[in-house]
Structure 1
Amino acid sequence: MATLPVEYLRTTRLFREKIGDVEIISFEVPVHKYFSRNEIPYLATALDVDFRKMENLITDMKYGRVAVEKLWAYRMDADIIRENKKVLLPDLASNPVDGEVDEFEDAKVLKIHVGPLKEYVRVFVRPRQGFREVVVYRKPPHPAFVRYVAYL
């Protein structure tokens, strides 16, 4: 009896968020293992990979070829045991975005501005032995961390 391969790339819901007097469109990030299609621009930009190639790398995981792995997505204003609050990140395709890159000796930091919200999302990329660690941090309200490991 054959089993169907698991699809790791999924379409998730979009949300309208009001932050002060600014309205942004955000998407829901799966807690672990699975990826939202809206996460691809974050990963592709952080790892300097083409969008289509990143999408193919994640899709190939259903055949056992792991290139990028999501370890966890955690919302910092939630109690991890009692509450299950959604992790939301701004959609880079639906919002006006701008950014800066800071390069350090052993790391790279991408500062993403969403409209008038300066440095609203930060992406940290750090090379390790055999892989690269990517951490996405979203500022309050609804602060969150998403951690990935990329074997590229």
Structure 2
Amino acid sequence: MSSSIPEYLRQSVKVKETIDGVEVNSFRVPPHKFFVNEEITYLTLPLNVDEKVIMNKINELKLGRKTIEKLYAIRLDADPWQYNELELPDLLSNEIDGTAMENKGNVIYSVYIHVNGIKNFLKIIAFKYVSYVEIDIIRLAGYRGGVIRYLIHF
């Protein structure tokens, strides 16, 4: 029996990337609206909440509540008329290290993530506004980069 209610949390497609001779376990990120399990870890870091909180917010989308939104996930090296999926390293299946940055203004979280010895593979930054938090994940290593932007309403 199929349901007409869409599932917003989906399984990811796993990929192995080789960047500067280093192998990285990654996953493909849906371009908008939908989430994959590995993205939840990325959202728990700047929000400092349990994964269940993020999963509940994603599940509320089925009820028409916009408590969490993925605005877009784009590769910056892609031709505007050609779609290439953005990949992110799986934080649980690679060697991860980080360098915290100073938070200024409305920045509540800012860190560079190093993956398998590749320095500054990505940057995660969170901005606090009156009614929501914006989280940006910026991929810096490998191809010319990419950006994922989320809005979390509290």
Structure 2: distance between partners of 1:103 and 1:36 = 29
Aligned to 2:153: 151
Deviant stretches of 4+, over 6 Å: none
Query: TM-score, normalised to structure 2's length?
Result: 0.91
The aligned residue for residue 54 of structure 2 is: 54
Structure-2 residue corresponding to 1:36: 36
Q: How does 1:2-151 map to 2 (within 5 A)?
A: 4-80=4-80, 82-105=81-104, 106-107=106-107, 108-142=109-143, 143-151=145-153
In the aligned structure 2, how far is the partner of 1:101 from the partner of 1:61?
32
SS in 2 for 1:43: helix
Query: CA deviation digits over 1:79-113, x for unaligned, max 9?
Result: 22x11111000011111111132241321212111
CA shift, 1:146, in A, is 0.3
Q: CA separation in 1, counterparts of 2:64 and 2:113?
A: 33
Number of residue pairs matched by the alignment: 150
* Aligned-pair identity (%): 35
| Structure 2 residue runs without a partner (length 5+) | none
> Post-superposition shift, 1:46?
1.5
Provide the alpha-carbon RMSD of the alignment: 1.5
Q: Gaps spanning 5+ residues in structure 1: where?
A: none
Shift of 1:66: 2.2
